[in-house]
Homo-oligomer: A and B are copies of this chain.
Amino acid sequence: MSTRNTISSKKTEPKAMKTAKQSSYAKAGVDVALGNRVKSGIGALVRPTHGAEVLGGIGGFGGLFRPDFKKRGVKDPVLVASVDGVGTKLKIAFATDRHDTIGADLVNHCVNDIAVTGARPLFFLDYIAAAKLDPDVLKQIISGLARACKEAGCALIGGETAQMPGLYGKGEYDLAGSITGLVERKDLLDGSRVKVGDALIGLPSNGLHTNGYSLARKVLFDLLGLKLTDRPAGLGTTIAAELLKVHRSYLPAFEKLRAMKGNPLHAAAHITGGGLIDNLPRILPKGCDAVIDPRSWKVPAIFGIIGRGGNVDPLEMYQVFNMGIGMVLVVPSKDGKRIAKSLGGKIIGGISKGSGVVRFIPEPGK
């Protein structure tokens, strides 16, 4: 049984038929009435994300979005779509019983994934699956989704909440979502503008974002025996607070770049699973390497704690974690310092001749 197929902006919700108090479906682990009860609270959270482009009143099979290309100044529209989850960061949400930020993690992750192509977000859809729906938890999750969508100018136009007895553990859920954005074709960032000599700007991450949690949890909890409430030296906060820090949205940085004369951005890479090592090659044209000086920024304390605690190979750290750099921008060398300063980032390296890989000079840990 699945519910909340689509969040419509209609104020009425689908009617639930009254069934026997303890229905057969309920005995099988699916609570239809609960599903409907939960749905009814969602509209108020979601509606503030709906602008004039969201068409309502259709009651829920599909979310409707009428893009105003004229107002958006787009003549040759390209839609950019991405889907993602939040990985085992969820386990931290479960352990802390804090569910109002994980939705923002997901939305910001998706917003960044399409921002690197030059796209602005149009709309978002979420998928939440659990053995049993907890109405309060669901509302918390959706409040986080809606808050981040609102900040990104992105309409939350649909969602699926699936009750799947036997697939998920008690009190656990999975959360995924997809985003669709828009870019003018000529403004599409496809790596083709990247040139030898370009500067690499690293924008700071806000902690682990949504990657590397399986390894982080293993080291912090299993190997080091830390608790969520512990405050390891140098961290400046609790493990719980550190691990729940919300994945940063870089959309404001992209807007600033667009506002600069001639938009100096040649390419951008969102540093997610695979770290700098796997994500930067995605934007390297043939014959180019990204050369990075790992001493050029301060790696946040949490990564040091994990690396030392797990005796993790220093290079592997840069393939699992963002190591403090959540977004890399490629810009003309002459503008690098100025742009880095205006965006709160740092020059972390440059583009040189090569074969499409990332080279660290010096190598981390050496």
A residues neighboring B (CB under 8 Å) = 1-3, 5-6, 14-17, 19-20, 23-25, 27-30, 32, 55, 57-67, 76-85, 87-88, 90-91, 113-114, 116-117, 119, 122-123, 125-127, 129, 157-160, 162-169, 172, 174, 176-178, 180-181, 185, 188, 190-191, 211-212, 214-215, 217-219, 269-270, 272-274, 277-279, 281-283, 310-313, 315-316, 319-320, 356-358
Q: Give CA–CA (A165, B215) in the complex, Å.
A: 10
B residues in contact with A159, CB < 8 Å? 83
In whole Å, how far is A342's beta carbon from the nearest beta carbon of chain B?
A: 23
Contacts of A117 in B (CB 8 A): 58, 61-62, 64
22 A-B contacts, Cβ less than 8 Å apart?
A: A2-B273, A5-B84, A17-B358, A23-B316, A24-B215, A24-B310, A25-B215, A30-B214, A32-B274, A59-B283, A62-B119, A64-B78, A64-B80, A64-B117, A65-B80, A66-B79, A67-B79, A79-B122, A83-B127, A83-B178, A127-B176, A165-B214
Pick the contact of A61 from B77, B116, B312, B313 — CB < 8 Å?
Answer: B116
Task: Check B25–A357 contact: CB distance below 8 A.
Answer: no
> Quick check: A158 and B123 within 8 Å, CB to CB?
no
The 10 closest A-B pairs by CB, nearest first: A59-B282, A83-B125, A178-B178, A62-B80, A28-B218, A28-B215, A127-B176, A24-B312, A62-B114, A62-B82
Find chain B residues with CB under 8 A from A60 CB.
Answer: 282
- Are B166 and A88 in touch, CB under 8 angstroms? yes
Please, how many angstroms separate the alpha-carbon atoms of A53 and B62 in the complex?
A: 22
Q: How far is the CA of A218 from the CA of B166 in the complex (A)?
A: 11
Q: Are A17's CB and B157's CB within 8 A?
A: no
Query: Could you list 15 further interchain pairs (A-B, Cβ under 8 angstroms) beyond the known A29-B214, A58-B117, A85-B160?
Result: A3-B274, A19-B315, A20-B316, A24-B311, A24-B313, A25-B319, A32-B320, A61-B82, A62-B181, A63-B81, A64-B78, A65-B78, A66-B77, A81-B125, A83-B159
Known contacts A67-B79, A165-B214; is-contact A129 B85 (Cβ 8 Å): yes
Are A58 and B190 also in contact (CB < 8 A) when A78-B64, A85-B162, A278-B16 are? yes
Contacts of A172 in B (CB 8 A): 167
> What is the CA–CA distance of A85 and B178 in the complex, to the nearest angstrom?
13
A332 to chain B, nearest CB (A): 21
When the two chains form their complex, are residues A66 and B185 in contact, meaning their CB atoms are under 8 A apart? Answer: yes
- Picked from B19, B122, B219, the residue with its CB within 8 Å of the CB of A319 is B19
| CA gap between A324 and B274 in the complex, in Å | 47
Instruction: Among B28, B91, B122, B188, point to the contact of A166 (Cβ < 8 A).
Output: B91
- Contacting pair B19 A313 (CB below 8 A): yes
B116-A62 in contact (CB<8A) = yes
A323 to chain B, nearest CB (A): 14
The interface residues of chain B lying within 8 Å CB-to-CB of A313 are: 19-20, 23-24
Q: Which residues of B contact A315 (CB under 8 A)?
A: 17, 19
Which residues from chain B contact A211 at a C-beta distance below 8 Å? 1-2
